[in-house]
Structure formats: C-alpha cells, structure tokens
Amino acid sequence: MELKFRLAHTGAAETQADAVVLFGWEGTRRAEIEKAFAAVYDSGEFSGKAMETTLLHAVPGFAAPRVLLAGLGKREKFDALLLRKAAGAAIRLLKDKGVRSVAYVLEAGADGPGDVAAVAEAAALGLWEPDVLKTDKPAGAAVVGEVTIATANQDAALAAALEQSRIVAEGATLARDISVQPPNVLTPLNMAERARRMAEETGLECEVLDRDRMMQLGMGALLGVAQGSAEPPALIVMQYKPEKPVSGDHIALIGKGVTFDTGGISIKPSDGMEKMKYDMAAGAAVIGAMQAIARLKPGVAVTGIVPAVENMPGSRAQRPSDIVKSLSGRTIEVLNTDAEGRLILADAITWAKQLGCTHMVDAATLTGAVVVALGFACSGVFANNDQILERWLAASQESGERMWHMPLYDEYRDQLKTVYADIGNVGGRWGGACTAAMFLKEFVGDTPWVHVDIAGTGWLDDAKPGMAKGPTGIPVGSFVHFVMNWK
C-alpha cells in the first residue's frame, strides 16, 4: 500500500489520527506537553530522555485516541539525526500496535523544512520491513497508510520539503526492496530488468551493456570477475538529462552491484557468507536514487551506472595471479579474487569518463577493513577534491546518513605496486579501506570524485528501534541531496 503524507496546521489536541506523536525534551517541558502531561513527567515515567517513549490512551481533550510521548534528550545536545531516530522508533512502536495513521506534532521553532523532511523520511524508512518473500504474514494486519505532520508553520516550503522527502523515501524503499532479494532471484540480469522497469516508469533512458558489448569495449577487469559465474554480467546505465541544464556539469553515480560475493577462488569462509547477498546494496541505491532524481527533475545531468556481476568460483573463474586488461588500458594483477568490487568499479569509472561525466560519486560495500576502522556507525568517505567532498558531506548531513572523511595519502599507492602489471588489486593487510580507495583513484584520474565505502552501513544485522534489520537504503538520501543541491 502506498504511504500518504499530509501537512496539517492543527495543534496537538486537535490533530486527527489513530495516534499523535509528541516529542519531548529532557529538562525542559514543551508548552502543550506541560498542560496535559505534567503528571506523566512528575511520576518520572517519562522524562524526555533520548529515545524514551510512553504511550497513553484517551488523553482528555485530545482528538486522537492515542498519544505517544517520544523523548529527544537535552535541548543543548540535540541533532537532526536524533529526531530521525526518535521519529522512526515512534512509528515502529505504533505500527506494531495496529495503528493505521500517525501524526507527528512538531514544536514551534523546530518545524522548518529540514525538520519536516527528517520526520517524514524517518517515518517512511521506519515502516519498511524485509518480509517481501514471506507468505505466512497474518492476513489483514494493520498497515500504517497515512503520516501527518502537524505544525503551525504556514511556510510553503514545507509542502515542497514533504514532497521531496516522500520521493527520497520511495527511492530508498526501492533500493531496499532490491537489496533484500536473495541472490538466486536477484541475478545481474534480474537487477538490470528492475532498473529498466524503473527507467520506463520514470522516463529515464536505460541501456544495459551485455557481455559481448563489454568484450568489444575491452572491459577486462569487470569481465574477469564475471567469468567464474554462469550468470552473465550486466553494466546498467541510466541517464537523466534536464530540460534546461544549469551548466555543462554531468554527474555520475556509480554503485557496486555484486549480486553475490563468494570471494571467487580466494573463497570466503562459509560462516556468515550468506550476508554477501548485500554486496549489491550500493548498486541498488543508485537505482533508487535515479528513480528519485527522475521524479524531482534537477537542473544537472546525472548518469547512474551499476556494474552487476556475480563473484563465483566456477571452472572458468579467474585465478589469483591472473592479469587482466581494464577498459582504461591499464593492466591489473588479480592477487585476490575476493577484491572484486574495485575491479568492476574500475571499468565502470572509466565508462563514466567515456560518457563525458565531469563529476563522480561511487558507493560500494567495498571492504571489511572500513568496518574495522569505523564500525557500523558511519560510512567511510574518500575524495580527490575538497569542493566535491564538502558538497558530499553537506548532502550526507542533510539526509541523516553519517559519513566520515578518510585519507588518500600517496603512501597507499605504494602498497598496490606489483612487478608483473601496472597495479595489483590488493594492498596487503593494513589500511585496507584506504588502499581499496587508492586503487579506484588510479582509474578516476583528475575528475572530481568521491568514494563511499558502505560495507558497515548498508545492512543492519539487527533491527534498531527506528529501522528493521536488513538493507538500510544508504546512501540514497545523500545521492539525491547531492544532486538536488548542485550549483
């Protein structure tokens, strides 16, 4: 069912919905809350601590049958991410109680376009569940179909922000719907089919390069990864062209699309290997972002590129020590077949350059090393240009997707040296996220570029209060904001 969003200009007591959500602070009490809920505060049951919730029924004077108090913590410690977390947690709690419509009542002063966007996106993301292929779901279970944002703010910018949020959230939902598919269903060709369908629905151009075409072009790095699998590879290219371009800029969004990563001949341990179905999460994020971009119609040209392959140890599989010739003409010694993401991305990056892209962002579940470095709290970001980095970090902040800037020192290049080819595909034990990024940089050249390693953030092993377990949709929000803010 489609989720409907609406704006209302009513106060907490008048707002109509199955449940209203009121955010409360720790230490200070919001006026509307003070009146009706003094007793709740005084009892100590709710003190406004971050992520604290209390659900009340039949509050006198309230039109809605339920009121959920949701804590945001101390005012001075507040950040926009917290609002997203609390909004997501609130709707997940309410959805499990059979609520069909939810209204968030924003406080005056904390109800600008950014606040509306944060709450709306968090609500939509919070409602998503990874159960598309379950057939034993209880029939007739309640689904939240309507989210209202109530505010006294009459600014017309709020409606626009809400509409953009809805579209961003639908993009992230598409990315998650694709990512959650198992690898026997989501083969490279199936992924291409989904991209094509999206492009048809939104009016984007979509071209899928098949194995023969890639051979003609000389994409030896990508094809080397694909050759161990019976599933043919696909290079998915989705193009958005603005009616009135504001400049000659052309942004490439590139996402790793390994539909399953066994590691190839450098095979991974079987324990936990099932998680490697999410090795296409960044590719799915590009498809989701392109859907949103097609609908939002920014003034800059954007091309989405997803190299889609399966990394398998079949009898035709590449071997450690194989040397492949990339589309760029450079030779690569494949020292570890499990470092396949950078191989397919190298050719995708070169293809983006050949298509005339002037700026590039790639995202990938690229390394275990970035998870060692940063854990699950944020994605690692690498860039060869300060201006594009700044724009990317601003976009990530707007979308509530945490990112941390990592270094690309020349020393990392030394780790990739090999005597037999121009470059090796692994850089040894240390600084693995950085050497992987350095490998990509070799193929990027001077084009302003950002690389985002989402190995730690693309998938939740356990549900959070505001989000189900499974794919997160990261970095769809950053992709879209990055493009929408382009000047």
Q: Do the beta carbons of residue 333 and residue 418 sit within 8 Å?
A: yes
- Which residue's CB is nearer to ligand BES, number 107 or number 338? 338
Which of ligand BES, Zn ion, none is residue 48 near (CB under 5 to 8 Å by kind)? Answer: none
Binding partner selected for residue 336 from ligand BES, Zn ion, none, CB under the kind-specific 5 to 8 Å limit:
ligand BES
Residue 368 touches which member of Zn ion, ligand BES, none, C-beta under 5-8 Å by kind: ligand BES
Residue 135 C-beta-side C-alpha neighbours within 13 Å? 0
Out of ligand BES, Zn ion, none, what residue 401 binds, judged by CB under 5 to 8 A for its kind, is: none
Rounded distance between C-alpha atoms, residue 69 and residue 55, angstroms:
6
Member of 115, 310, 333, 340 binding ligand BES (CB under 6 A): 340
Which partner in ligand BES, Zn ion, none is near 126 (CB below 5 to 8 A by kind)?
Answer: none
Q: Which is nearer to ligand BES, 34 or 274 (CB)?
A: 274
Residues 321 and 303: their CA atoms lie apart, in Å, by 34
Q: Using the rule CB under 6 A, is 232 a contact of ligand BES?
A: no
What does 21-50 look like in DSSP terms, one character per residue? EEEEEESS--HHHHHHHHHHHHHTS----T
Among 111, 279, 398, 401, binds Zn ion (CB under 5 A): 279
Among 111, 170, 338, 362, which residue interacts with ligand BES (rule: CB under 6 A)? 338
State how beta strands 101-105 and 146-150 pair.
parallel
Binder of ligand BES out of 10, 336, 358, 447 (CB under 6 A): 336
Catalytic residue among 74, 100, 268, 325: 268
Per CB under 5 A, 261 contacts Zn ion: yes
Residue 426 interaction partner, one of Zn ion, ligand BES, none, beta carbon < 5-8 Å per kind: ligand BES
Of residues 65, 242, 299, 368, which one binds ligand BES by CB under 6 A? Answer: 368
Query: From the centroid of its chain, how far is CA 97?
Result: 28
Q: How far is CA 336 from CA 281, 321, 327, in A?
A: 22, 8, 20
Q: What are phi and psi of 135, to 5 degrees?
A: -105, -10
- Measured at the CA of 58, the angle between CA 53 and CA 63, to 5 degrees, comes to 100
CB of 263 to Zn ion, least distance (A): 5
CB 326 within 8 A of CB 332: yes
Return the number of the residue (142 or 371) whose C-beta is nearest Zn ion.
371
Count the neighbouring beta carbons within 10 Å of the beta carbon of residue 184.
Answer: 11
Is there a catalytic annotation at residue 268? yes
Report how far residue 23's alpha carbon sits from residue 396's, in angstroms, rounded to the nearest whole number: 24
Tokens linked to 4: 């409907």
| Tokens 């077949």 -> residue | 337
Which secondary-structure segment (H or E) carries 89?
Answer: helix 80-95
* Binding segment (CB under 6 A) for ligand BES, from list 120-128, 242-250, 338-346, 441-449: 338-346
- Which of 88, 228, 288, 341: binder of ligand BES (CB under 6 A)? 341
Contact with ligand BES (CB under 6 A): which of 48, 400, 432, 473?
Answer: 432
Q: Is 307 in the site for Zn ion (CB under 5 A)?
A: no
Chain positions 277 to 316 lying near ligand BES, rule: CB under 6 A, are: 279
- Closest to 22 measured CA to CA, from 143, 151, 112: 151
Per CB under 5 A, the segment of 120-128, 193-201, 341-349, 410-418 that binds Zn ion is 341-349
Does residue number 365 form part of the binding site for ligand BES (CB under 6 A)?
yes
What is the nearest approach in angstroms of ligand BES to the Cβ of residue 279? 5
Whose CB is nearest to ligand BES? Answer: 368
Size of the site for ligand BES (CB under 6 A): 16
Q: Which is nearer to ligand BES, 248 or 269 (CB)?
A: 269
- Give yes or no for residue 341 binding Zn ion (CB under 5 A): yes
Is residue 335 involved in binding ligand BES (CB under 6 A)?
no
- Written as six digits, the tokens of 47 are 């003190």
Q: For the beta carbon of residue 377, count every other beta carbon within 10 angstroms.
A: 9
- For residue 188, the one-letter residue type is P
Residue 472 interacting with ligand BES (CB under 6 A): no
DSSP per-residue codes, 204-263: -EEEEE-HHHHHHHT-HHHHHHHTTSSSPPEEEEEEE--SS-SSS-EEEEEE-EEEEE--
Stretch that binds ligand BES, among 30-38, 229-237, 332-340, 343-351 (CB under 6 A): 332-340
Tokens of residue 122, six digits: 């968090």
Catalytic residue IDs: 268, 342
Q: Which residues bind ligand BES (CB under 6 A)?
A: 261, 279, 336, 338-341, 365-369, 371, 426, 432, 455
Binding positions for Zn ion, rule: CB under 5 A? 258, 261, 279, 338, 340-341
